[in-house]
Amino acid sequence: MTIHRHCCHCRRISITVTTGSSSPLSLPPLICSPFSKIQVHITQGDHVGEGVIVSWITPNEPGSSTLLYWSEKSHLNYSAQGVFITYSYFNYTSGYLHHCTIDDLEFDTNFYQVGIGNTTRKFWFITLPGLGPGVPYTFGIIGNHT
């Protein structure tokens, strides 16, 4: 699955998320656990493109908001600590919404990330290309007339 986003600073983000299978719609098996991630979202985490924000939901218990990640180039393991929140609206209470920011990533590099504990899914994403005159960008203007 490829996610295309436009940030407020007009750099186009193209992030590929895969689960290691040749079929983009199949997911690897999960250990049955209240900590299994249901939805995973990856967005640009800073103005330059050296960071990402990984967000996911756990339905029943908060579990851990820590991510393990490593670069395809170095294979050194790193971890980032996130936070989680819940919210209520009338008689609805959300699941546990986790957000974890990973900073100081190399440009144009594959990174792999997994959760902590009983979560067995492994995903990868590619960071943006470095800044420079040969790097394509998308420029957009949004206005509102009242």
| 2 pLDDT more than 50 | no
Is residue 65 assigned to a domain? yes
Region for 100 from its dihedrals, namely left if φ exceeds 0, alpha if ψ lies in -120 to 50, beta otherwise: beta
| 37 pLDDT more than 60 | no
What tokens were used for 37? 């991630």
| 66 pLDDT more than 90 | no
Residue 58 sits in a domain whose CATH number is 2.60.40.380
- Mean pLDDT computed over every residue of the chain: 72
- Is 35 within 8 Å of 117 (Cβ atoms)? yes
Is residue 23 assigned to a domain? no
Is residue 142 assigned to a domain? no
Q: pLDDT value at position 142?
A: 72
Is residue 123 assigned to a domain? yes
Tell me if residue 88 falls in helix, strand or coil. strand
Q: Which stretch of 26-30, 40-44, 52-56, 132-136 has the lowest confidence by average pLDDT?
A: 26-30
The structure's pTM equals: 0.64
Is residue 63 assigned to a domain? yes
Q: What is the DSSP string of 95-139?
A: -EEEEEEE-SPPTT-EEEEE-STT---EEEEEPPPPPSTTS----
**In the structure, what pLDDT confidence band is assigned to residue 63 with cuts at 50, 70 and 90?**
confident
Name, in order, each residue with C-beta under 8 angstroms of 29's C-beta and a sequence gap of 6 or more.
120
Q: CA 3, CA 78: separation in Å to the nearest integer?
A: 24
Per the structure, how many domains does the chain have?
Answer: 1
36 or 4: which leads in pLDDT: 36
Q: Each residue of 80-98: pLDDT tens digit?
A: 999 999 999 999 999 999 9
- The DSSP 8-state label assigned to residue 19 in this structure reads -
Residue numbers of the domain that contains 57: 14-18+36-127
Is residue 24 assigned to a domain? no
Q: pLDDT value at position 39?
A: 73
Backbone phi, psi, residue 110, to 5° = -75, 130
Q: CA 80, CA 115: separation in Å to the nearest integer?
A: 10
Is residue 121 assigned to a domain? yes
What tokens were used for 115? 């959760």
68 or 7: which leads in pLDDT: 68
Is residue 64 assigned to a domain? yes
Q: What is the Cβ-side half-sphere exposure of residue 81, based on CA atoms within 13 angstroms?
A: 0
Q: Each residue of 104-137: pLDDT tens digit?
A: 999 988 988 766 665 556 788 888 888 888 877 6
